[in-house]
A and B are shown apart, each in its own frame.
Chain A
Amino acid sequence: MAAGATYEPIATTTLGSAQASVTFSSISSSYTDIILICRHATNVGGNTFLRFNGDSGSNYSVTFLRADGSTASSARGSNESQVTLESFGFPTPDFGAITTAHIMNYSNSTTFKTVLSRGSNANSGSGVSAVVNLWRDTAAINSITISSSASTFSTNSVFTIYGIKAA
């Protein structure tokens, strides 16, 4: 028997002006997974990063799979200071991007936290990517800070987190 609605919007931030970062804090531990959807652009183009619980230490790592319209490739980053959601240096000012990140089992205190994400940007030189990140901490995630390697996220960028609750 179905348990009822289980995909709930938790919070949305829409930027009224350019901003360097966005933080969702006091995230409830009552869900199973968190989904972050970013519809965003930056002032000069850059990768999108996440930090959990304010952790800026070298406790993150990433593996990329990406395609730029002619070539598929894979790359890795170890002992990083944040989660990296894409790898093309998008979204640029004129070409926004859509990134979806699944933060799996975010509130468990037994394992490290794995994030699956997909990014896309139709701008020339960009492409599509599938990415897996690891945060090497067993703490439950209660805050997510989104930032970019560019200076700022552009006005009207939208960031939404959803909670998915298993039966």
Chain B
Amino acid sequence: MLNIIAGSLSVGVTPSTSSYESIATITVGSGGAANIEFTSIPSTFEHLQIRLFVRPTSTSNGPVFMQCNSDTGSNYTRHSVRGDGSTAYASGSTSQTSMYFNGYNVYAGATDRPTVSIIDILDYKNTNKYKTVRTLAGLENNGSGEVGLYSGMWMNTNAITSIKLFDNVNYGEYTQAALYGIKGS
């Protein structure tokens, strides 16, 4: 990703586009889904990115919760800075059972206003450190909405091999999560 951006900012340098690869895409069908899970994530990349497009159900836009390797223990931390159109908020918490992105949790009133998140999972296979996740996310609803920067940490040195994303209600039909791998040099 950095190479690509550096390439685009440097006149005459062609960005390398072979370092960013699509791994898997999950699209929710009719009836919705309680969660989205990527499994058997290959260890051939340096970083991962999930680009998440959530179409709301009739009841909630919902936050996004994330767990790694099926760990449901209190092994996660959360931080965020977000704005709701009038106030900027900062928060943090430890010993959580999941990471948390996109705090908007009010039904937008229609299923045509998606919540979107770009989730960067850095150094996901490194067995010497805990895993850090960084997210830009938002929902806009012409008079309401929220945008924020979120970070989370999974306090485990295992390589990440699976990622589960879940809502407090079902993800609606056409919700799509795309997992990408970013290679090092």
Co-assembled chains A and B = yes
- Residue numbers of A with Cβ under 8 A of B are 1-9, 12, 14, 32-33, 37, 39, 61-67, 72-76, 78-79, 98, 100, 102, 104-105, 108, 110-112, 114, 116, 118, 130-134, 136, 138, 158, 160, 162, 164-167
Contacts of A134 in B (CB 8 A): 113, 140-142, 145
Q: How far is the CA of A67 from the CA of B178 in the complex (A)?
A: 30
Contact with A along B6-43 (1 / 0, CB 8 A): 00110100010110111111000000000000000010
Q: How far is the CA of A8 from the CA of B112 in the complex (A)?
A: 28
Specify which of B17, B25, B139 is in contact with A167 (CB 8 Å cutoff). Answer: B25
Contact A116–B147 (Cβ < 8 Å):
yes
Q: How far is the CA of A167 from the CA of B145 in the complex (A)?
A: 30
Contact B118–A116 (Cβ < 8 Å):
yes
Contact A7–B87 (Cβ < 8 Å):
no
For B180, the closest partner residue in chain A by CB is A6
Contacts of A160 in B (CB 8 A): 8
Q: How far is the CA of A27 from the CA of B136 in the complex (A)?
A: 25
For the complex of A and B, the 9 pairs showing the least CB-CB separation, nearest first, are: A74-B83, A132-B138, A76-B85, A65-B83, A134-B140, A166-B178, A61-B142, A7-B20, A132-B147
Contacts of A118 in B (CB 8 A): 136
Contact B4–A7 (Cβ < 8 Å):
yes
Contact B86–A5 (Cβ < 8 Å):
no
Contact A74–B114 (Cβ < 8 Å):
no
Q: How far does the Cβ of A160 sit from chain B's closest Cβ, in whole Å? A: 5
Q: How far does the Cβ of A24 sit from chain B's closest Cβ, in whole Å? A: 14
For B42, the closest partner residue in chain A by CB is A2
With contact pairs A2-B42, A65-B148, A166-B178 given, residues A78 and B142 touching in the complex (Cβ less than 8 Å): yes
For A79, the closest partner residue in chain B by CB is B142
Contacts of A62 in B (CB 8 A): 140
Specify which of B22, B87, B140, B180 is in contact with A133 (CB 8 Å cutoff). Answer: B140
For B21, the closest partner residue in chain A by CB is A2
Q: How far does the Cβ of A133 sit from chain B's closest Cβ, in whole Å? A: 6
Q: Is B71 part of the contact surface with A, judged by Cβ < 8 Å?
A: no
Q: How far does the Cβ of A147 sit from chain B's closest Cβ, in whole Å? A: 20
Specify which of B23, B90, B116, B180 is in contact with A114 (CB 8 Å cutoff). Answer: B116
Specify which of B25, B88, B138 is in contact with A166 (CB 8 Å cutoff). Answer: B25
Specify which of A6, A67, A76, A114 is in contact with B86 (CB 8 Å cutoff). Answer: A76
Contact A74–B86 (Cβ < 8 Å):
yes
